[in-house]
Structures are given as C-alpha cells and as structure tokens.
Amino acid sequence: MYKYLGRERFARPMGEMMVSVAACRVRKPDVISYVPLHPSRLVERGFNQSEQLARFIGKKWGVPVVSLLVRSSPTRPQSQRSRAERLQSMEGVFELHPSIPVGKLVAVNILLVDDVYTTGATLGACARVLVQAGCNSVRSLTFAR
C-alpha cells in the first residue's frame, strides 16, 4: 500500500474508488472518522493514510470528518502478525479522543475509514470504543480486503 512507500498522491484515486463503490452500499453517516496512528508511527510515516482517505470521502459527501479515537499504545504493524496475534494485539489499544465530551456520540451514526481490512481486529477494536461511548451505529469502509 502507498502508506509504506510515502506516496500520498495515491490517496485521491483510492478515495475516488471508495466513494464510487460506497455510494450505493453505505448509508450516509452523521460523522466520518478514521483509524488513528500512534504518534510515533505518524512521525515515522509523515501522514495517516486512513485520515487522508476519510477526509477525501467527507469532502465528496459533505460529511464532517472528526478525530474520534486515539491510539494509546504503539503496536507492531499488523502485516507482521498472524491472525491470532492480530486479534489479540488490538485489545485496549484505542481510546476515545480526550476532546470528545461524554455523551457527545449518543445516537450518532459513524463511518469508520481504514485502508485495509484483513481480520477486522483493528476496526473491531475501534468500533467497540465508539459503541461504548454511545454511538448508534458504526460502519466501516476500507479500500481493500
């Protein structure tokens, strides 16, 4: 994926494809968010590919994009793990962003964007945090599976 090669220019064509596929399959959400990177990974990579895709989709759909989650601990890249390790490694990694007031997400429908869905461990861990915060629904959209 472009995240490993530093090729941010791929965000636009990937976002276009995601918008066109999702147009007939995904109900328009109240808010779009994305899987956060740990700050150390963000510094290393220079950008968050999921955030770029989410912002592109949000602009096309006219839906606000909000940073709802933080990654509280660094993890090894999922691509270097087995399925079992992926599922176990994501527990407790994500937290609600400290700027989100308690009760703010009650009855909100969220679209959570990531670049790749492999086992669902990352998206599942993120969704659990959002549901615990009171979200009405959390749906996901990824570029690849």
Residue 74 lies in a domain: yes
With a pLDDT cut of 70, the percent of the chain lying above it is 84
Residue 107's region, left for phi above 0, alpha for psi from -120 to 50, else beta, is left
Beta-carbon contacts of 91 under 8 Å, excluding residues fewer than 6 positions away, are 125
Q: Is residue 40 part of a domain?
A: yes
Residue 114 phi/psi, 5-degree rounding, is: -145, 165
State pLDDT tens for residues 94-136. 999 999 998 899 999 999 999 989 888 899 999 999 999 999 9
Q: Which amino acid is at 84?
A: A
pLDDT digits (tens, 9 = 90+) for 102-112: 889 999 999 99
Residue-range definition of the domain harbouring residue 99: 29-144
pLDDT of residue 78: 58
How far apart (Å, rounded) are the C-alpha atoms in residues 102 and 11?
A: 32
> 48, 37 in Cβ contact below 8 A?
yes
> Does residue 105 lie within any of the structural domains?
yes
Using DSSP, state whether 25 is helix, strand or coil: coil
**Helix residue spans in 23-111 (DSSP H):** 39-45, 49-61, 83-89
108 to 24, 58, 84, 97: CA distances (angstroms): 21, 16, 31, 16
Whole-structure pTM value: 0.85
CATH code assigned at 109: 3.40.50.2020
Q: Confirm whether 21 is domain-assigned.
A: no
| 17 pLDDT higher than 90 | no
Q: What's the pLDDT score for residue 99? A: 94
On whether residue 54 sits in a domain, the answer given is: yes
Question: According to the model, what pLDDT value does residue 25 have?
Answer: 83
End-to-end CA distance of the chain: 12
Residue 12 lies in a domain: no
What local confidence, expressed as pLDDT, does residue 135 receive?
95
Reported confidence tier of residue 10, pLDDT bands at 50, 70, 90: confident
Total domain count, the chain: 1
The partner residues of 31 in beta bridges, in order of sequence, read: 110
- Give the mean model confidence (pLDDT) for residues 7-29: 80
